[in-house]
Amino acid sequence: MHHSHQTPPLTRRSLLALAAIAPLAAATTASAAAAEASAVGGERLARDGVQVGGGAAAAGLPARLTARSWLVADHDTGEVLAAYRAHRRLPPASTLKMLFADTVLPVFPRTARHTVTAADLADIPAGSSLVGIQAGITYTVEQLWQGVFLRSGNDAVHVLAHMNGGVAKTVAEMQAKARDLQALDTHVVSPDGFDHPGQLSSAYDLTLFARYGLRKAAFRAYCGTRTADFPAGGGRTFQIQNTDRLLSGAWGLRTYPGLIGVKNGYTSHAGNTFTGAATRAGRTLLVTVMHPGNEPDAVYEETAALLDWGFAHARSARPVGRLVAPLSEGGGGGGDGVSLPRRAAEAGMPGTGTGKSSVLWLVEGAGGAAALLAGGLWALRKRAGGAGRAATGTEPSATRAARSARTERSATGTPRRAAGAGRRAGNRGGKGRHRG
């Protein structure tokens, strides 16, 4: 015998609930679209997935890229040739030192001398990378910057920051410089890039920092220096080497032809980050790679692969965005229709520490609201059947999934995926330790 099944009618209360959800879904979707359109440098840079223009150029992209975010741009024109999650906010590690240099490098002449005090070194985070500065020794400003660029020395950063009026003043000036450069994904907590909650940047912003810095001869000279003699006290010196493996060729990597800098970084939370610049046949390209896979050389290998792609396809690739000019030099808002004060205010807000940009949160929020609306309809239609299953001791799958998620969070404190990511990061070095 055939049994017909009728869907229970929706009650007035259910219809009112769905009516309340529908505007939320529509508004969130609209907000996501507006946020994408407001992205600095062009709306495509806020999209998920690889952004590249031109069939041949797209086909030539490296097949295995593990980075969570990357960008390839022409240094001279500012055209972004390809990108992946360019505005995703992630911990920058020592690549943030590029912004530090953009901010403080013009303040002191390179021949100026400073005798380091214990107070200059008192607030360096434990586990920092160090060049080996000692209290009581006099250094030139040039030597301090060599410590910053070659060894990623947090001790050199803090000495320069104290010379500049203190760490807090320097952080405020770096944040102001980021706003002027329209690097609105960046939130500065410390001048050295060390791991701190809310200290975030993006592949787009780091590329802006590199492009701006490379216009200055001193910045260009420091980031391209392979070795230097550094004071050890008592008239002695020791040699320091640049930790940029594409520049130095260390650890089994070959030097990249035409590389002119710029800055690498590593912490256990951020993983590896790198912005590199190279020149070939009169064209200079910038590549930023953030948080690739666990292999220690992955950040350099993927940077080299993207540089190779850029030099091979720069003529055929259609730009997917642009690196904007600083506001102080007449740079516009990226054609986004959003007021600059509003975007600057948003940039100054601490990040969530999730590694997701606000744009991506909005997109995901839109999907969640839509799913909630659809799920509400499904749940209401199935309510009678679900109640019947509960009465017979059969637990609905949605309830099981929710219970499982609650159990996992209560046992570990974080979702399993986040915990796994932490373990992987922990395998790369001590917590918060810079590796270069």
Q: Is residue 129 flagged as an active site residue?
A: no
Find the catalytic residue in 94, 201, 202, 358. 94
Q: Which two tokens stand for residue 61?
A: 């992209």
Mean pLDDT for 274-279 is 98
Q: Is residue 216 flagged as an active site residue?
A: no
Supply the pLDDT for residue 391: 33
Q: Is residue 97 flagged as an active site residue?
A: yes
What does the pLDDT look like over 87-112, one tens digit per residue?
A: 999 999 999 999 999 999 999 999 99
Distance CA 66, CA 87 (A): 17
What does the pLDDT look like over 332-346, one tens digit per residue?
A: 755 433 333 334 444
What's the pTM? 0.73
Supply the pLDDT for residue 335: 40
Find the catalytic residue in 152, 201, 357, 358. 152
What does the pLDDT look like over 33-71, one tens digit per residue?
A: 555 668 999 999 999 999 999 888 899 999 889 999 999
* Residue reference for tokens 């008239």: 235
pLDDT above 90 as % of the chain: 62
Amino acid at residue number 257 = P
pLDDT band at 19 (very low <50, low <70, confident <90, very high): low
* Residue reference for tokens 């010379």: 163
* Residue reference for tokens 């008592």: 234
Per this entry, what is the length of the chain? Answer: 436
Distance CA 115, CA 80 (A): 44
Find the catalytic residue in 38, 69, 97, 268. 97
